[in-house]
């Protein structure tokens, strides 16, 4: 099983346990019964687990980096589209679900020809991949809420590597990666944090992309500059932190295949309080000194 799939399964198990625990509490206080909660969320759990572990990441990587459309891609897209359409999503997820189904449909159509247009297929695949990540976030936020997890008590969410409601507030934008000129690269982005102070503690990429990813900074001592690994990068409450050339960056090492301008690269960021955030880095040439 691929890593995202395994992660999703662990998360499902954890949430089901939490739901059960929450339901027990409800029994005592005469609230909603465990049966009602589970009946309502069961189809959501099934569908999101299927989406999260369907291998969209691997499909997108194969298309974007190798220019190869996996033989299973079309079936996967069609099945997922059907699953998204038949699932009885709660009201707040109905529209996002429709959008994702449309993206899956576009993708299936783009590859269902004798001579697929590479640019079109890549674009559709990137959109499905990113769209699934976005949708997954919203679904897990909903499930966390159903499980009775609130921003003040996110210890369970953390251990389950699930974004808690607080995490949903962290926004990561302008995610870029440097094209490779050998087997290293750097990823840069902006983290906006309207919530309480947090800390970026880890960045990971699929080992098929790069075998190691570390948080680094640049330290200048006299005439010398050097890179240094850091344990974490503080994100001030109500503020932002910018990872940019000449400062903080995520260093990728042992990059497995060249990253070229126009490629995209999924990155998972882990925040101390906010849990994980999935982002897609656009590979492009970055300059240090901008034009003022």
Partner 1 sequence: MQIQHLTRWVLAVVALSVAAATAGACSGDDAKGPSEGVSNAGDYRGVLVTPPLEKPALTFTDTSGRPYDLVRETEGTVTLLYLGYTHCPDVCPMHMVDLNAVLAKLPGDISAKIKVVFVTVDPERDTPEALGRWLGAFNSSFIGLTPDAPTLARLLYEFGMGEPHRTDLGSGNYAVSHAAYVMAFTPDNLAHTVYPSGVTREDWAHDLTRLVKEGWKPS
β-sheet bridge partners, residue 219: 226
Residue 231 binds partner 1, judged by CB under 8 A? no
For partner 1, the closer of residues 24 and 212 by Cβ is: 212
For partner 1, the closer of residues 71 and 229 by Cβ is: 229
Distance of closest approach, residue 199 Cβ to partner 1, in angstroms: 21
* Nearest-angstrom CA–CA distance, 151 and 166: 5
β-sheet bridge partners, residue 215: 250
Angle of helix 73-86 relative to helix 91-111, nearest 10 degrees? 160
Residues 244-263, interacting with partner 1 (CB under 8 A): 245-246, 249, 251-254
Residue 50 binds partner 1, judged by CB under 8 A? no
Q: Name, in order, each residue with C-beta under 8 angstroms of 2's C-beta and a sequence gap of 6 or more.
A: 53, 55, 57, 58
Q: Kindly state the number of chain residues that form the binding site for partner 1, as judged by CB under 8 A.
A: 38
Q: What HEC string does 140-180 produce? A: HHHHHHHCCCCCCCCHHHHHCCCCCHHHHHCEEEEEEECCC
Q: Which of 19, 178, 195, 276 is the binder for partner 1 (CB under 8 A)?
A: 178
Residue 35 binds partner 1, judged by CB under 8 A? no
For partner 1, the closer of residues 26 and 240 by Cβ is: 240
Distance of closest approach, residue 63 Cβ to partner 1, in angstroms: 24
Contact 103, 131 (CB under 8 A): yes
Q: Which of 212, 237, 239, 262 is the binder for partner 1 (CB under 8 A)?
A: 212
Contact 162, 16 (CB under 8 A): no
Residues that bind partner 1 (CB under 8 A): 178-179, 181-186, 211-212, 214, 216, 218, 220-229, 245-246, 249, 251-254, 285-292
């Amino acid at each position: 099983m691929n890593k995202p799939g395994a992660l999703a399964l662990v998360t499902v198990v954890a949430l089901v346990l939490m739901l059960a625990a929450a339901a027990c509490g409800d029994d005592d206080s005469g609230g909603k019964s465990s049966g009602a909660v589970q009946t309502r969320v069961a189809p959501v759990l099934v569908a999101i687990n299927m989406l999260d572990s369907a291998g969209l990441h691997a499909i997108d990587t194969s298309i974007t980096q190798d220019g190869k459309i996996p033989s299973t891609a079309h079936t996967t897209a069609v099945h997922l589209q059907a699953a998204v359409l038949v699932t009885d999503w709660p009201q707040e997820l109905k529209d996002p679900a429709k959008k994702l189904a449309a993206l899956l449909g576009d993708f299936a159509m783009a590859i269902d020809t004798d001579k697929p247009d590479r640019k079109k297929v890549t674009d559709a695949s990137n959109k499905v991949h990113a769209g699934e990540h976005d949708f997954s976030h919203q679904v897990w936020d909903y499930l966390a809420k159903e499980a009775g997890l609130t921003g003040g008590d996110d210890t369970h969410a953390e251990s389950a590597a699930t974004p808690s409601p607080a995490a949903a507030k962290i926004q990561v934008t302008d995610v870029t990666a440097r094209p490779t000129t050998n087997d290293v690269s750097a990823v840069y982005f902006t983290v906006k944090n309207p919530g309480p102070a947090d800390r970026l503690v880890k960045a990971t990429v699929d080992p098929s992309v790069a075998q190691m990813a570390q948080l680094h900074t640049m330290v200048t001592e006299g005439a010398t500059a050097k890179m240094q690994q850091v344990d974490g990068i503080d994100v001030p409450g109500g503020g932002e932190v910018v990872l940019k050339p000449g400062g903080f960056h995520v260093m990728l090492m042992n990059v497995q295949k060249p990253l070229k301008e126009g490629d995209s690269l999924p990155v998972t960021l882990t925040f101390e309080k906010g849990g994980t955030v999935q982002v897609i880095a656009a590979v492009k040439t970055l300059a240090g000194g901008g034009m003022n």
